[in-house]
Homo-oligomer: A and B are copies of this chain.
């Protein structure tokens, strides 16, 4: 795998990430993973500036998340993101999230299938050949 993968992002759990069960809402994890996915497409050469200019947007076609342990207010989180596999029009992304600190506990794992969609028509576009070159065949981290 290209040495720039996986990309790492960090976050800290805010009030708005939690719910009245006292832990991070299952919904908030998707925000943490979206930040990491944005850094992943950056690393592949598709910045949000280019998305806006070209109308070519990465679109999530499928998400799987496992919630392993609860995260809490003030926890510092490390999210890793990488490309598991590229197909003609589908990018298979992987993510995991650990708590930063003494236990470095694995909090969650995620997979997403992303398709590049050309707006305004909404047509899927082929994964760029440069991405295939950037992501080595043996790109799996697991």
Q: Among B20, B61, B63, B120, which residue has its beta carbon within 8 angstroms of that of A19?
A: B20
**Chain A 88-133 interface residues, beta-carbon cutoff 8 Å to B:** 117, 119-120, 122
Q: Using known A-B contacts A14-B31, A19-B16, determine if residue A52 contacts B67 with beta carbons closer than 8 Å.
A: no
Q: Using known A-B contacts A20-B22, A25-B16, A119-B22, determine if residue A67 contacts B62 with beta carbons closer than 8 Å.
A: yes
Other A-B pairs beyond A19-B20, A52-B73, A63-B64, 7, CB < 8 Å: A15-B21, A16-B34, A20-B20, A20-B72, A21-B59, A22-B120, A59-B67
Report which A residues bind B (CB closer than 8 A). 14-16, 18-23, 25-27, 30-31, 34-35, 38, 47-49, 51-52, 57, 59-67, 70, 72-74, 117, 119-120, 122
